[in-house]
Every structure is written in structure tokens, then in C-alpha cells.
Amino acid sequence: MDRIDRRHALRLGAGAAALGISAPFIGGRARADAVKTLSFQLSWIKSIQYGGYFAGIDNGTYKKFGVEPTFNPGGPTVDAVANVAAGQSGLGDRPIGPILVAREKGIPLKVIGTVFQKSPYSIISLAEKPIKTVKELVGKTVAVPTSSRPLMLNLLKDAGVDLKDVTIVPSSPDPSALVSGQVDAYTGYSTNQGVMLQTRGVKIFVLNVHDLGIPETAGTLYGREDFLAANRDLVVAFLRASQESWGWALNNPEPTAKMMVEKYGSPGLDYTAQLTEIKDSKPYITAGVGTTKGLLSLDLGLFDHIIDVYRKVDIVKSNMTAKDLCDPSFVEAALKA
């Protein structure tokens, strides 16, 4: 899901051209009533992690700003970054890692905002057997997504842990392996897998990876450079509406959770879990510039730090900087609108 190359993106773009569609403009079609449509590729299934967006649809906030967004679900079989890179959707969201990797490979993507200023990505263990420091992973088995393995190895090295003393196995979206004792620790989102465990009655201990020196943003908004340039007003209007609708959702977690379970979310969502997740997410969304500048704002210093970490683990080999990766002018214009 995290892998993308330039050839794949260009091939998808060529397919759109063959159908007579100009890829950079997909999702930006003007209608007679001046409301413009926008196709947005989610990185995961429709759930409360996108509650702010669906609140904007339900409350008419996007319509007020002249935007009619369509949020396309992602998931384990969807290459979300490739879809945006190929022009199938104008914008998308993702943790910063895959976007940064795509940019490093020459895919012309730009970050224009982020929902989660601080990632809830964490090392999760059982409360009865808590892992409170990285060094306590010695002799343990930890489940880690393949895409995050280089960062975890770097975290262990920085803590002075011999890599042969920790067993790293691939993880799945469901953290049940932690409960069954197959692994001693599970790396995932405290607001998602962590909440999943808690609502099942499992008591956990959470060690946030960002606090350990591996910074990351999540729900990071991005688009292809040519799409952004050609649809600046539409993108700014979308961000302005999203700032307002996310603010409403964070201040009204109960109706937002109810709305996702009953109306917009994927089948089978649990109300208690959805409510707990959005409440737990608020400190991560409003962290840093999320409070000082406004929701969805970009902290270029943070992104430079993220790039430095990825360079340290040899994922980034270019001289990329935050100014190459990000364009804060869109969200700054939205904040002034």
C-alpha cells in the first residue's frame, strides 16, 4: 500500500488521457450553480478518523464554500498515493512517510496541510506487561508494519539496543496478536488500534513514537503540483471548509460519532469506539501549530525534522527540504479567508 513508483503513476495518468480526461483536472469540474466537485482519496476506510470531513458534508459547510467533495475510501488493497499521483483524485490524505517517499522518487506531490499535527503512532503493550522504554524491547517480539521497519530499527539503534536482541515481525491492522501473546508489543495508532483494544476491555500501555524522536504527521493532505496550480481557489475553499468542519467535529464528538456510525461510515462501526477515537484524537490534531496557527496548518520545522530522520535511515538520499515537500500557501490563504 505504501509503494509507488513514477512509471506506475504515469501509466495511470496515461489511461485517464486515453479516455479523454485531463488527469490534473479530475475532480475539479465546475457546475452551473458554481459549486465545484472535488475527488478526495482517503487512505483508509470511512470512519471517525475522517469525521471532520463528513461533518462538513452533513452540516453543509462545504456547500457554503462552494465545494462538493467526494471522499473515496481507501484500505489495504488501495494504493492511495498512486491514485492521487495519477490524477484519479485531486487530493488525498496519508501519513507523511509514503508521501515523502513518493516525492523522493520524483512523483510531483506537494503537502498542503495536515489534520494530525502529532502522530498517534505508538508502541502498544499490555498494561500487565508494560514496555515503558525502547530498551525494554530487548528479548521481546514486536509487530511492525513493513513500511515502518527502517524507522523502528533506527529507534532501537539510537537507544543502544542490539538489533539481534529484538524480534520484529510484520503487523496486521488488527492488534489481536498482542492479546493472544503472539507478540509482546504492537506498533500502531493509539487512537485506532489502541482504542480497538480498550473497547474490548483490554488495558494497555502506550509509548508514543513521536515523543521518542521519530516525528510524523498523519492525515497529511497532498495533491499533485499541476492540479494544485490549476485549481488553487478550489483547494483553498476546500481547506477553509475543512478547518471549520473539523473544528465543529472536535467540539461535538457525540453527534459526529453517531453520524459516522449511522450515515457515512463503513458498515459495522461501533459507536463507543468511534466516540473514544475522536476524543483521543483531539490532542494530536490540535498539537503545535494546530492551536497556535489553526487547524490543518503546516509546521515546516517539523517537516524538516521528519525529512532528516528519513535521511538518517537512508530512505531520503536527496537534498530535499520541507520547502520542496510542502506548500503552506494554500492553508495560509484558507486561514485568512
Quick: pLDDT tens for 303-326.
999 999 999 999 999 999 999 999
Residues of the chain with pLDDT > 90: what percent? Answer: 85
Kindly state whether residues 55 and 112 are assigned to the same domain.
yes
Amino acid identity at 46: K
Please give the residue range of the domain that contains residue 85: 6-119+216-336
| Under 8 Å between Cβ of 141 and 244 | no
- pLDDT at position 33 is 57
Q: Based on the domain organization, do 149 and 69 belong to the same domain?
A: no
In tens, the pLDDT along 75-109 reads: 988 999 999 999 999 999 999 999 999 999 999 99
Determine the pLDDT at residue 337: 81
> Bridge partners of 128?
none
**Residue 113: exposed, middle, or buried by beta-carbon count in 10 A (0-12, 13-18, 19+)?**
buried
Instruction: Locate 174 and state its grid cell.
Output: 488488527
Are 302 and 293 in contact by the 8 Å Cβ rule? The answer is no
Residues 188 and 41 in one domain: no
Q: Which of 167, 194, 212 corresponds to the end of one domain?
A: 212
Question: Would you say residue 58 lies in a domain?
Answer: yes
In a domain, 1, yes or no: no
Using a pLDDT cut of 70, give the percent of the chain over it. Answer: 90
CATH code for position 188 = 3.40.190.10
Same structural domain, 100 and 13: yes
Burial of 231-263, coded b for 16+ CB within 10 Å and e otherwise, reads beebbbbbbbbbbbbbbbbbebbeebbebbbee
> What is the DSSP-derived secondary structure letter of residue 210?
G
The residue with greater pLDDT, 18 or 214, is 214
pLDDT of the residue at 2: 40
Claim to verify: residue 74 and residue 136 sit in the same structural domain: no
Mean pLDDT of the chain: 91
